[in-house]
Amino acid sequence: MESIFYSEEEIRSQADARGFFEREAPPFIESMERENGYPFELLRKMGERHYIGVRFPAEYGGGGKDMIHESMVNEEAGAQSYAISCARSVPHHCAYILHSYGSEEQKRTYLPGIFKGETIVAEAITEPTVGSDAARMKTRAVREGDHYILNGEKRFQASGAVANLLIVFAITNPDVHPSSGMSCFVVETGGSNIVALEEFDTMGWKGLRVVSELIFNEVKIPRENRIGREGQGFPILMDMLNSERIVVAGSLIGCARSCFETATRYSMEREAFHRPIRNFEAISFKVAEMACRIESARLMRIKAARMMDAGMNVTKEAAMAKVLAAENAFWVANEAMQIMGGIGVTTKSCVERHFRDLRVGMVAVGTNEIMRLVIQREVYKGLEGK
């Protein structure tokens, strides 16, 4: 495979990742879909290959590479299963916070276990009444001497029901604007004061152990478990979301690629009216459009990743990458299902599973509408500065 957008080393790395996930992921997909089984063993295998924390320094157990590699690996994981790519990428999002804002002690305490796939970590941001408007969260952490007392509820934490470590955002100063009154904490689970309830049976993302309620009741957090400065939580969250959106764009593109390849092969084999259906423009034009949409989304993801690796501000580009990947990928899955007809809506094809996962992808990590809100804000900001 040749590419003017990837170096030879990057192409080899992507091929290696593709081989790993094609070989290792399938046995876990069925148990996740049918039995809600979490892929603990697969995460440990990823850890052995440095496929968790690809872009973080080797001194903490990471892969020592960059965002372009991180997002490529997530594309290969997503090509097999969005749920698996999410189980792989949530540790990235949490590790980014710890690595960028945590103390040296926090990094050395928590990052190696995360990167080995031994520590299951989850973000605790969304609440029952707070989604896109994260600044209005109600969870509170009150300072009492050398500790904080945490109370509140969170919701929709991927891996939340099995996590033994949480990155929790909470309001520490309700008397100021939330952008200055929110803080971030690393919280170890296991005590009776933290309860994770599983009620939702989501249409996609099976096996991710997404919680309906994560309840904190008088949870005592040592002051040294605060990440960054008190009141720095909102800027930390906004910074992390840029990285998260680029990585998630990779997984969405991977799902779309899988649907595209499956439907295209099917169009070459399936015959109707005495010829392969690829010979009908109603089918072949869909294939052409699918190819265009996947490539455009991938190029936007590559641009955002390259910019981040160069130390540039990627708020606009990360949002563009995510919304293009989400909308194009779902369109591709929908058209792939149309090409395949009846067999496409059965579980004999991966398209049905990707379709469900990709529909959820237009809501998670910022809805399509929120992505456009971010993009237009950055566009106008750029024009006003001229």
Domain with residue 74: its CATH number is: 1.10.540.10
- Give the three-state DSSP class for 303: helix
Segment 280-314, tens digit of pLDDT: 999 999 999 999 999 999 999 999 999 999 999 99
- Choosing from 231, 248, 265, the residue where a domain stops is 231
Pairing of strands 121-124, 165-171: parallel
Segment 156-195, tens digit of pLDDT: 989 988 999 999 999 999 999 988 999 999 999 987 799 8
Q: Is residue 323 part of a domain?
A: yes
The neighbouring-strand residues paired with 140 are 151, 171
Residue 192: exposure state from Cβ atoms within 10 A (0-12, 13-18, ≥19): exposed
User: Is residue 247 very low, low, confident or very high in pLDDT (cuts 50, 70, 90)?
Assistant: very high
Looking at the fold, whether 335 and 372 belong to one and the same domain comes out as: yes
227 in Cβ contact with 237 (< 8 Å): no
Looking at the fold, whether 52 and 148 belong to one and the same domain comes out as: no
Q: Is residue 303 part of a domain?
A: yes
Looking at the fold, whether 324 and 254 belong to one and the same domain comes out as: yes
Q: What per-residue confidence (pLDDT) applies to 131?
A: 75
- Give the three-state DSSP class for 188: strand
On the question of pLDDT at 9 being above 70, the answer is yes
Looking at the fold, whether 202 and 247 belong to one and the same domain comes out as: no
Q: What per-residue confidence (pLDDT) applies to 281?
A: 95
Q: Report the number of distinct structural domains present in the chain.
A: 3
Looking at the fold, whether 171 and 305 belong to one and the same domain comes out as: no
Region at 159 (left for phi over 0; alpha for psi -120 to 50; beta for the rest): left
Calpha distance 201→210 (Å, rounded)? 9
Q: Which domain holds residue 227?
A: 123-231
Query: Which ranges of 310-367 does DSSP label H, i.e. alpha helix?
Result: 315-340, 350-361
Q: Is residue 348 part of a domain?
A: yes
DSSP letter for 85, please: H
Q: Is residue 170 part of a domain?
A: yes
Looking at the fold, whether 224 and 161 belong to one and the same domain comes out as: yes
User: Is residue 135 very low, low, confident or very high in pLDDT (cuts 50, 70, 90)?
Assistant: confident
Looking at the fold, whether 100 and 134 belong to one and the same domain comes out as: no
Looking at the fold, whether 242 and 221 belong to one and the same domain comes out as: no
Calpha distance 328→293 (Å, rounded)? 6
Segment 112-133, tens digit of pLDDT: 999 999 999 999 999 988 877 8
- Choosing from 202, 231, 260, the residue where a domain stops is 231
Segment 81-99, tens digit of pLDDT: 999 999 999 999 999 999 9
Q: What per-residue confidence (pLDDT) applies to 305?
A: 98
Residues near 4 by beta carbon (within 8 Å), at least 6 away in sequence: none
Q: What per-residue confidence (pLDDT) applies to 2?
A: 58
Looking at the fold, whether 208 and 276 belong to one and the same domain comes out as: no
Q: Is residue 127 part of a domain?
A: yes
Q: pTM value?
A: 0.94
Buried b (16+ CB within 10 A) or exposed e, 123-149: bbbbbeebbeebbebebbbeeeeebbb
Looking at the fold, whether 102 and 145 belong to one and the same domain comes out as: no
Summarize the confidence of residues 217-246 as an average pLDDT. Answer: 96
Average pLDDT, the chain: 94
Q: What per-residue confidence (pLDDT) applies to 204?
A: 87
Structure tokens at 259: 């649907």
Looking at the fold, whether 158 and 265 belong to one and the same domain comes out as: no
Nearest to 54 by CA among 224, 243, 288: 243
120 in Cβ contact with 159 (< 8 Å): yes
Residue 1: exposure state from Cβ atoms within 10 A (0-12, 13-18, ≥19): exposed
On the question of pLDDT at 385 being above 80, the answer is no
- Choosing from 200, 231, 262, the residue where a domain stops is 231
Domain with residue 163: its CATH number is: 2.40.110.10
Q: Return the percentage of the chain with pLDDT > 90, whole number.
A: 86
Segment 340-359, tens digit of pLDDT: 999 999 998 999 999 999 99
Decide which of 213 and 39 is more confident.
39
Q: Is residue 386 part of a domain?
A: no
Q: What per-residue confidence (pLDDT) applies to 93?
A: 96
Domain with residue 341: its CATH number is: 1.20.140.10
Q: Is residue 3 part of a domain?
A: no
Looking at the fold, whether 313 and 348 belong to one and the same domain comes out as: yes
Q: Mean pLDDT lowest for which of 53-57, 228-232, 345-349?
A: 345-349
Q: Is residue 385 part of a domain?
A: no
Summarize the confidence of residues 19-39 as an average pLDDT. Answer: 95
